[in-house]
């Protein structure tokens, strides 16, 4: 069964800590995405990547960075966590072209609480 795996389902961190959220997909997808989900706001795009070592800013990149050193892995980094980054973080991947392009496969999510 193909899937997107997010390493941590629940995290609790303190203000100012550096936080790493890891995402791995086993579908050989070119594209990978990080969204955050907040009640009443839906999903908002943080960063995305169309290839290894490539990254593009989404709609709300402030306070975040990403790393994509391998095709299957896309990491989201909070350099200095703040309470307003308490949220559900969703990783997704998709094919670049052909059948199924732009169809996102999502991970189960990582719920981050910053105290």
For the chain, helix (H) and strand (E) counts, in that order, are 0, 12
Of 7, 17, 27, 45, the one binding another protein by CB under 8 A: 45
Task: Select from 14-22, 43-51, 68-76, 79-87 the region that touches another protein (CB under 8 A).
Answer: 43-51
* CA-only gyration radius of the chain, Å: 13
Residue with tokens 């391998």: 70
- Check binding of 74 to another protein (CB under 8 A): no
Of 2, 12, 54, 103, the one binding another protein by CB under 8 A: 103
- Check binding of 11 to another protein (CB under 8 A): no
Q: Name the maximum alpha-carbon separation found in the chain.
A: 44
Phi and psi of 106, rounded to 5°?
Answer: -100, 150
Chain positions contacting another protein, by CB under 8 A? 4, 31, 33, 35, 40-45, 48, 50, 58, 90, 92, 96-97, 101-104, 106-109
């Amino acid at each position: 069964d193909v899937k997107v795996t997010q390493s941590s389902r629940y995290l609790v961190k303190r203000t100012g800590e550096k936080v790493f959220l890891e995402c791995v997909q086993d579908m050989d997808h070119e594209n990978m995405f990080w969204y955050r989900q907040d009640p009443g706001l839906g999903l908002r795009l943080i960063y995305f990547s169309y290839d290894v070592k490539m990254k593009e800013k989404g709609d709300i990149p402030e306070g975040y960075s990403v790393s994509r050193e391998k095709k299957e892995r896309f990491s989201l980094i909070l350099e200095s966590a703040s309470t307003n980054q308490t949220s559900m973080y969703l990783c997704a991947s998709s094919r670049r072209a052909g059948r199924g392009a732009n169809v996102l496969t999502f991970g189960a999510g990582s719920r981050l609480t910053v105290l």
